[in-house]
Structure 1
Amino acid sequence: MTVTAIRPDGSREQLGAAVLEDLRAHLRGPVTAPDGADATTEPRVAWNAMHTERPSISTRCTGTADVVDAVGFAREHGLLVGVRGGGHSVAGLSSVADGMLIDLSLMRGVQVDPHRRLAHVQGGALLGDIDRETQAFGLATPLGRVSETGVAGLTLGGGYGHLDTRYGLACDNLVEAQVVLADGRVVTASAEQNPDLFWALRGGGGNFGIVTSFTFRLHPVGPMVAFAGVFYPLEELGRIERGWRSYVLEAPREVTSFIVTTTFPADPDMPDVIHDRPVAIVGAVHCGDVDAGMATLQPLRELGAPLFDMSQPMPYTAVQSAFDPFFPRQTLRAYWKSQYLDELTDDAIDAIAARAANRPSPRSLTNTFHFGGAVHDLGPEETAFAERSAPFMVSFDSMWTDPADDASAIAWTRSAWQEMTRYGNGMPFLNFTGLDDEPLDANVASAFGRNLRRLGKVKAEYDPENFFRLNNNVRPSP
């Protein structure tokens, strides 16, 4: 059977049955093509239901050697390549239509060295895989807030989560990476080896190769942490967010906090008072002493009259998966846009509250995040991740189910984002950005700022032909 796969220039490559059999003979993991597949050989499904693009060929790699062979095959035949770790890209950058998908979902191993406080993590691991293993030793590394997120995309794009203010971003805690380059070489990137590549991987996205192994620095966290989760009426968001703003700007480094607005679905495990009710959820984690942490978080429970307060000491792994039900895989269509605010003014809060009250669908979120402490300890050019000063970020996370609502939901999100530029600095967080009709270069340039030129040079060194281009793409430059 002949398979037709797309090249980067849009032309087509015909691959005969013998060619595919040769690829299968080289890889230990399964190779999926239209000549037959089942659930055991299909790649991990993408999270965003808007992105159902199917590759002509997919390889489910079992280790670095499989990745090397998959890259070599794609390079030999000139194929357009997509890479999927967790598949949680909002913009669908882990999907490729009619090209070749290199899927890492079988590479989920996590090995913890508790004495050196390091975790060695394969490139297809999910955040929950890491938390499960590290918490066995009372350790953690900063990661995101949804356990189904892939470690690779999160870390390479920066990586915000519940430990930011105390321990920094996920990329700040990366100490080493094993990378398969476009030419098939396997290199180590660290402060001592290929330091330019190491700098670029910490926030520069999937531009430079396929990371098959991450080594993270670990910190003493858990197994119990102090958690605040307070549900307030959405109509009181303006007052609630003003009080929250005052709190977070003075809070200790152990506290990382945010506000999420949504319409909470009916859930038999939650009280009736919040069923199908628009709410503002004030969330926070204190990662130090639990009793002291609950006392420190108490003001967040008194910003108004709560509808429901689930604040309590909680296992860190439970906190890390608490928001999973908000983001079911391949169920919701999603388009997000975000930007940073150098100041959360009263006018900005009023604009956020107005938008939160007029979201395009019940499952859509309007979020405000606070950053500080360790996130701001690094300068904007110390890593590729350039935003190191803004204390707040607003994210409009539109999510819906009916394809007929695509245009209106996307238009609402763009309008909300554009309105927020009156109060924000216009710089986006690329991991919270949907596939846009604006030129991708504009988002990339805004996000990386002065770092873009250096990133272009690193790209020219390690991927001069832009083999890895399905990402927030940095073009090779001299």
Structure 2
Amino acid sequence: MSTFEDFKKQFKGDIVTPHDPTYQQALDRWAANARRDAAVVAFVKDAEDVALAIKHARTTGLRIAVRGGGHSPAGTSSSEGGLVIDLSRYLNNVRVDSDKKLIHVQGGAQWGSVDHAAIKHGLAGVAGTVNHTGVGGLAVGGGYGWLSGQHGLVIDNTVQLTVVTADGSILTASETENSDLFFGVRGGGSNFGVVTEFVFKLHPQRAKVFAGPVLFGPDKCEKLAAFLDEWWPRAKAEEGILVAMMRGPDGNPLIMSFVFYNGFEEEGRKAYKGLFDLGPIVDQAAEVPYEELNNMTNPLAEWGANYYFKGLPLAPKPSDDLNPKMYDQILRFASSPDHVCAVLLEYLPHGKINSISADSAPYRRDLAGNTLILIQWKDNTPEKSLAAKEMAHSIAKLLPQGEGYGNYTPESDALPTAGAVTADKTKALFREHYPKLQAIKKKYDPDMIFNQWYTVIPA
């Protein structure tokens, strides 16, 4: 019996190959340009299936990718000619333990499921800002959300993980069990194994929050920056603003601010009075059910378009990023009629995040916040793809330099060919934690079979 037949016989989930009618559907990704023609897509039903898929890939020399939500524009959940371990079809359930204020989330779930399940109990966890983002990728790379000001990152609210490692072992990782693996996975990305279940802390959460887009014309750029300069140093934990420099659907310059306040509308309008007093051209901020909050930025993250991301650190002072001169330069680069370009400045208070011990997880605790250059386009061609990359890198040169948030990584940084790793980028991301991660990598994945994201080279 062939190795593949043996694999199929033992495997409980679905195995899809290029000969199957559902093959193209199995390759579907949030970013259409992140699709790759895998040799095998293994829709796993449990951790044992994951172990079997790893064993088969290693036996046959197939490169492994892991798909949770399929939301990486860098293509980290796809593998050309390789094997994709896909958690999304069967391992997508969530279970709330309201007494312990914990939520058990399978590795293929999306954040929308977490938001909806938890709020039924008057609870919420730190989640992403787009509800169809996969839990897995966000949660192992750091994890920012609207509640980060109050509760820290997703990795700071992770209490237990079930991880299938390179040798097929199914391990529980926590502060008290396999604590080195627990350290590595919370911020070290997909370097150490496949997470089939997360257990996150939940926190009491009010049913409604004040949030929504507030749009300004370019003439308000300087005044908006002055408001942010005054607000940002004293921003409270329950606040947060996302600012996007972009062109509107009609091609005209636009500054979108998306405001969030974890409280009543009256309190939110008071907290952001200086912003509303500027006279927005559109004000759609309102009290909304908490579980709807992460739907609201979905228009910038439409499923099935093509995407290119570039992440950078936020400047300490908002007016260093947002000013008329910078805005004009950005718009000059972002003038292609084929591309939608937004420079997103994320003002999520970092007091709680940066108060957590630097040794708790391999994640920096000195950032002010993140900038994301997001390029979206339809009908992918090599020319459009190259233009998007050039646009992002030209804009990036205008902004503060440094290694940005790992989950905002462009493909060229994230996807080494197996064994040939952009080591300098990885060291710059993990900094003083890199030697410890190398030791963990040597223990759990010495052959570097997990190599789809800022790959750590074993010590």
User: One fold, TM greater than 0.5?
Assistant: yes
Task: Quote the offset at 1:42 in angstroms.
Answer: 4.5
Q: In the alignment, does 2:434 pair up with 1:452? A: yes
- Residues of 2 paired with 1:105 and 1:300: CA distance? 41
1:64 to 44, 47, 60: 47
Give 1:367's aligned residue: 344
Q: 1:360 to 1:372 in 2, by over 3 A?
A: same
- Residues of 2 paired with 1:373 and 1:437: CA distance? 29
Q: 1:349 to 1:276 in 2, by over 3 A?
A: closer
Task: Quote the offset at 1:142 in angstroms.
Answer: 0.8
- Between structures 1 and 2, the one with greater helix share: 2
- Residues of 2 paired with 1:161 and 1:132: CA distance? 15
- Residues of 2 paired with 1:310 and 1:345: CA distance? 23
Give 1:324's aligned residue: 298
Residue pairs, 1:409-420, within 5 angstroms: 409-420=388-399
Task: Quote the offset at 1:436 in angstroms.
Answer: 2.1
Stretches of structure 2 that go unaligned for 5 or more consecutive residues are: 415-420
**SS of the residue 2:340 aligns to:** coil
Q: In the alignment, does 2:312 pair up with 1:336? A: no
**SS of the residue 2:280 aligns to:** coil
- Residues of 2 paired with 1:419 and 1:261: CA distance? 13
Determine what percentage of the aligned residue pairs are the same residue: 28
Give 1:253's aligned residue: 237
1:170 to 149, 154, 161: 154
Q: 1:44 to 1:167 in 2, by over 3 A?
A: farther
Residue pairs, 1:152-231, within 5 angstroms: 152-231=136-215
Tell me whether 396-405 or 431-440 shows the greater mean CA deviation.
431-440
Give 2:449's aligned residue: 467
Assess if the C-alpha contact under 8 Å between 2:4 and 2:56 holds in 1: no
Q: What is the letter of the counterpart of residue 287 of structure 2?
A: P
Give 1:148's aligned residue: 132
Give 1:430's aligned residue: 406
Q: What is the letter of the counterpart of residue 312 of structure 2?
A: Q
2:267 to 292, 302, 312: 292
- Residues of 2 paired with 1:397 and 1:355: CA distance? 16
**SS of the residue 1:426 aligns to:** coil
Task: Quote the offset at 1:393 in angstroms.
Answer: 2.4
The total of aligned residue pairs comes to 445
Assess if the C-alpha contact under 8 Å between 1:428 and 1:446 holds in 2: no
- Residues of 2 paired with 1:291 and 1:190: CA distance? 41
Task: Quote the offset at 1:44 in angstroms.
Answer: 6.0
**Per-residue Cα deviation, 1:219-260 (whole angstroms, up to 9, x for no partner):** 112321122421111343233123123212212111122212
Give 1:13's aligned residue: none
- Residues of 2 paired with 1:437 and 1:143: CA distance? 25
**Per-residue Cα deviation, 1:394-418 (whole angstroms, up to 9, x for no partner):** 2211222242222222112112212
**Per-residue Cα deviation, 1:262-308 (whole angstroms, up to 9, x for no partner):** 3343xxxxxxxxx6643212122222456434432333322x22111
Give 2:417's aligned residue: none
Task: Quote the offset at 1:472 in angstroms.
Answer: 1.8
Task: Quote the offset at 1:35 in angstroms.
Answer: 2.8
**Per-residue Cα deviation, 1:91-132 (whole angstroms, up to 9, x for no partner):** 111110001111111211000011110000000001111111
Assess if the C-alpha contact under 8 Å between 1:344 and 1:392 holds in 2: no
**SS of the residue 2:343 aligns to:** strand
**SS of the residue 1:236 aligns to:** helix
**SS of the residue 2:224 aligns to:** helix
Give 1:400's aligned residue: 377
Assess if the C-alpha contact under 8 Å between 2:112 and 2:132 holds in 1: yes
RMSD of aligned C-alpha atoms?
A: 2.1
Task: Quote the offset at 1:440 in angstroms.
Answer: 2.9
Tell me whether 225-234 or 344-353 shows the greater mean CA deviation.
344-353
- Residues of 2 paired with 1:443 and 1:38: CA distance? 37
- Residues of 2 paired with 1:83 and 1:367: CA distance? 28
- Residues of 1 paired with 2:106 and 2:27: CA distance? 15
**SS of the residue 1:204 aligns to:** helix
Task: Quote the offset at 1:204 in angstroms.
Answer: 0.6
**SS of the residue 1:37 aligns to:** coil
- Residues of 1 paired with 2:131 and 2:422: CA distance? 28
2:358 to 380, 383, 387: 380
Q: What is the letter of the counterpart of residue 349 of structure 1?
A: L
- Residues of 1 paired with 2:108 and 2:62: CA distance? 22
Task: Quote the offset at 1:174 in angstroms.
Answer: 0.6
Assess if the C-alpha contact under 8 Å between 2:27 and 2:37 holds in 1: no
TM-score under structure 2 length normalisation: 0.91
**Per-residue Cα deviation, 1:70-102 (whole angstroms, up to 9, x for no partner):** 112212223211111111112111110001111
Assess if the C-alpha contact under 8 Å between 2:3 and 2:56 holds in 1: no
Q: 1:204 to 1:81 in 2, by over 3 A?
A: same
Task: Quote the offset at 1:437 in angstroms.
Answer: 6.8
Q: What is the letter of the counterpart of residue 362 of structure 2?
A: A
Assess if the C-alpha contact under 8 Å between 1:44 and 1:86 holds in 2: no
- Residues of 2 paired with 1:468 and 1:262: CA distance? 36
Assess if the C-alpha contact under 8 Å between 2:122 and 2:206 holds in 1: yes
- Residues of 2 paired with 1:134 and 1:346: CA distance? 37
Assess if the C-alpha contact under 8 Å between 1:228 and 1:301 holds in 2: no
Assess if the C-alpha contact under 8 Å between 2:33 and 2:73 holds in 1: no
Task: Quote the offset at 1:434 in angstroms.
Answer: 1.0
**SS of the residue 1:79 aligns to:** coil
Stretches of structure 1 that go unaligned for 5 or more consecutive residues are: 1-16, 266-274
**Per-residue Cα deviation, 1:148-203 (whole angstroms, up to 9, x for no partner):** 11000001110111111111111111111000001000111111111111111111
Q: In the alignment, does 2:254 pair up with 1:279? A: yes
Task: Quote the offset at 1:347 in angstroms.
Answer: 4.2
Assess if the C-alpha contact under 8 Å between 1:286 and 1:297 holds in 2: no
Assess if the C-alpha contact under 8 Å between 1:144 and 1:161 holds in 2: yes
**SS of the residue 1:363 aligns to:** strand
Tell me whether 246-255 or 348-357 shows the greater mean CA deviation.
348-357
